[in-house]
Structure 1
Amino acid sequence: MSTVTVFASDGSWIESDAVDQCHQVAALEGVSHVAGMPDLHPGKGAPIGAAMMSTVLYPFLVGSDIGCGIAVFPIGLKRAVPEKLAGRFPDLDVEPDAGDPAWDVLDGDVPAGHLEGLGTVGRGNHFVELARIGTVLEPDHAARLGVAAGDVVLVVHSGSRGLGERILRAHTEVHGAGPAADPGAYLAAHDEAVRWGSLNRRLMAARVALALGAEPAAPIVDECHNLVEVRDGAYLHRKGAAPGDGRDVLVAGTRGTPSYLVAAHAGAEAGYSVAHGAGRKMSRSDALRRGRAKHTVEELRRTPVGSVVVCGDRQLLFEEAPTAYKRIEQVIADLAGHGLATPIATTVPLVTYKTAELGPRPRRDRQDHRRGRGRS
């Protein structure tokens, strides 16, 4: 008999629809356990913020943004004045030019040979953020990561863009929400998308670092939260849940609140997973309606922590307002209270990039992205 466990306290904001979705997934053939994280919220057909163990592989439980995750990169900036740096961010809505030095971070071929969208952030809750290390709660662990209070880091949240969507669509057009007919073939394509997402985050971080006058660096944290792994002879699906078995994870807050670096140590009951962020408490339509009644666009371009938001899409500004999300402090308290993670340090936003300011964009040359390495 399958089980459902939600790792949240009585004071947490958990919608009944999200819990209902957990039980619907638990009723699927082969599913043995569903673990809901404290950022649990309803998704399209499956809950977001959940880890789901099954002897049957269901691609729809991972969704279309296979490989989506959050990475943290050190960046050597002495003075970080948000107003000045916001205007220096590159246009992350278009691919970098063939001669962009950011391509030097690419080592080998592009996964799946998929060039479209590489080096771009996407929409929805994706972002690239310049942040400062705030409160350090575990100094020894922070030192092992190479960060200290006052350091500046880049936080990049994005995934596999059109590649993951292409993989899911190829499945659903034939099988709908049913299981993978050939799990091995799906996993091979899935693994390419996971690698692509990680490369995409690294490429964007390099673009931003170079634009701000810094050298690109390798990530100190990079964990995917939309994926499936084979574990103990079964399939562990994660949808909006980060691997929590001895990993360091960035649990994202909002553009107007801190995020948290945590040391994750979740066990089997939690699906070896932890939360990936604050989790929505309003639908996009509700956030848009309520936000327009309370805020102006200019108010949303500055945040309660004094940071600047770069976003040319006015609707997205309202949909992604901090008030649309749960309290990150409660999510972290729930993770710690259930023994799933230990907070290491906070990151406080300075500049959050969502999408470029609207205006004419030059057409980019997408040929030979690998700078003479040739296409596969």
Structure 2
Amino acid sequence: MEINKISENIYEIPKEGDMEKPARIYANEALLEKIKGDDTLEQIKNVATLPGLQKHSIVMPDGHQGYGFPIGGVAAIDAEEGVISPGGIGYDINCGVRVLKTDLSYEDVKGREEQLANILFNKIPCGLGKGGYIDTDEEDLEKILEKGAEWMLENDHAKESDLKRCEENGKLPGRPEKVPEKAKKRGLNQVGSLGSGNHFLEIQRVGEIFNEDKAEAYGLEEDQVVVMIHSGSRGLGHQTCTYYLREFEKNYPEIVEKIPEKELIYAPIEDELGQDYKAAMYAAANYAWANRQAITEGIRDCLDEIFGEVETELLYDVCHNIAKEETHEVDGEDKEVIVHRKGATRAMPAGREEVPDVYSDVGQPVLIPGSMGTSSYILSGGEASLDLSFGSTAHGAGRLKSRTQAKQDYWGGDVQDDLKREGIYVKAASGSTIAEEAPGSYKDVDEVIKVSDELGIGEKVAKLRPLVNIKG
């Protein structure tokens, strides 16, 4: 495969064959070599064959092989004449990250990490199934699918400031009737649950500040305790994606025949089925925002139980599995596009209308978790992201080993003990989950962040160090 170095941290696969545009890789040499270890580059070439693709398909420095799209993939597609692809969003629709700021310092929690781990693990449902933090009936679920975080506010599960510091204010124009019934049944009792796999909640402390002005604007200071939540739309989102993938395959046999990978199936955006999927995907995204909000309520209750009244405020909530209509400059003109972000985080700079008023002068907070046991980061949306990546950057460290390989290489109990010696308390539904998520299963998050920062697509603000990690 021909890969040309365009400039520092930018590589390109030239347009060839059925590709509509070139494919771009944002990585340094070391990360590029790791990305070459699976089918990521073949997949991003495949993404470049999608009708209506603008400028280039993109893979971020945390990129690794996924279904159809690579994880870490971005594609902006003509909003009127293009297509929509579930593979460009993923099974966990609106999987995303939120960070809560607290008025606790590291000294307040030091020595109480195990107590924190136990209460959070016991109160917040995690793992497969396991119920949710709040009870919902069928009528509630319909409203959640329609209103997202707005329903949570109306029913005293959120503060107004929570919605204002949430991507899209926690609500997209979803249509509950387009969500399959089987998906609704799976989501009925899961509002306020972590799920399994790489989902987590983590108590962290601010370990290092890189940009004092932006950190101040975000309300961050060294040794402050924050909480990071990583979860999505649970079984409801997975079932919604599965249903529409099969519907697309059934209704577009001619597309199935010509696409290079089955999971890359798409629908023309103007078709009724394409619109139905978009409406269902937005409804599932609303569910995910409600889910993270319910987890937030659980965390607030736990912190209050241990420390008395703790002041907690949402810093931000951002998706990394979503497709949304946005306006971006293409060939010198503003164009409406559907930006597919699959394991990629929105990273809008100061001045963009998508940035909440409170952060309008400094840019959108970008929340990037590391692997279990390593640091996470808060960045700010960089000006260069508009030109390079349609306002996007990486979403994490990116897997280096498959889950199967990780379970062969690591023993959950050993990983847990090693992390405890480093002062990090981990609780999980099973030892195999800990093994799958061992730090050695991931790329070096510091290198991923370095590429983002040097490119100017997501600029370093603060580094967060883990204290307590609860896994699904």
Shorter-chain TM-score: what band?
0.7 to 0.9
Specify which of 76, 86, 101 is matched with residue 59 of structure 1. Answer: 86
For 1:277, what is the secondary structure of its paired residue? coil
Q: Within 5 A, what are the aligned runs for 1:261-272?
A: 261-265=378-382, 266-272=385-391
Query: 8 Å contact 1:56–1:234 — kept in the other structure?
Result: no
Q: Within 5 A, what are the aligned runs for 1:226-237?
A: 226-231=321-326, 232-237=335-340
When residues 251 and 107 of structure 1 are mapped into structure 2, their CA distance, relative to the original with a 3 A threshold, is closer
Is 2:163 the counterpart of 1:163? no
Specify which of 425, 441, 459 is matched with residue 342 of structure 1. Answer: 459
Deviation at 1:229, TM superposition (A): 1.2
Which is greater in Rg? Answer: 2
Query: Residue type of the partner of 1:225?
Result: H
Q: Which residue of 2 aligns with 1:26?
A: 48
> How far apart, in 2, do the equivalents of 1:27 and 1:280 lie?
25
Q: Which residue of 1 aligns with 2:36?
A: 15
For 2:267, what is the secondary structure of its paired residue? coil
Q: Which one has the bigger helix percentage?
A: 2
Query: 8 Å contact 2:415–2:438 — kept in the other structure?
Result: no
Q: Which residue of 2 aligns with 1:2?
A: 21
Select between 307-316 and 24-33 the one with higher mean Cα deviation. Answer: 24-33
Query: 8 Å contact 1:205–1:216 — kept in the other structure?
Result: no
Specify every segment of 5 or more residues in structure 1 that has no aligned partner in the other structure, as ranges: 356-376
Q: Within 5 A, what are the aligned runs for 1:45-194?
A: 45-54=68-77, 55-78=82-105, 79-80=108-109, 81-89=112-120, 90-93=123-126, 94-96=131-133, 98=135, 104-106=156-158, 112=176, 115-176=188-249, 177-179=265-267, 181-182=271-272, 183-194=274-285
Query: 8 Å contact 1:250–1:261 — kept in the other structure?
Result: yes
When residues 127 and 92 of structure 1 are mapped into structure 2, their CA distance, relative to the original with a 3 A threshold, is same
When residues 317 and 118 of structure 1 are mapped into structure 2, their CA distance, relative to the original with a 3 A threshold, is same
Is 2:408 the counterpart of 1:289? yes
Query: 8 Å contact 1:305–1:349 — kept in the other structure?
Result: no
Identity rate of aligned residues, in percent?
29
Q: Residue by residue, what CA displacement relative to the aligned partner does 1:172-191 show, whole Å, maximum 9, x if unpaired?
A: 22213232543333222222
**TM-score normalised by length of structure 2:** 0.70
> How far apart, in 2, do the equivalents of 1:197 and 1:154 lie?
18
For 2:35, what is the secondary structure of its paired residue? coil
Query: 8 Å contact 2:119–2:302 — kept in the other structure?
Result: yes
For 2:203, what is the secondary structure of its paired residue? strand
Select between 77-86 and 340-349 the one with higher mean Cα deviation. Answer: 77-86
For 1:31, what is the secondary structure of its paired residue? coil
RMSD: 2.5
Deviation at 1:36, TM superposition (A): 0.9
Q: Residue by residue, what CA displacement relative to the aligned partner does 1:14-61 show, whole Å, maximum 9, x if unpaired?
A: 235111110011123333421111000001222000111222111222
Structure with the bigger RCO (C-alpha within 8 Å, sep 6+) is: 1
> How far apart, in 1, do the equivalents of 2:45 and 2:365 lie?
29
> How far apart, in 2, do the equivalents of 1:289 and 1:354 lie?
19
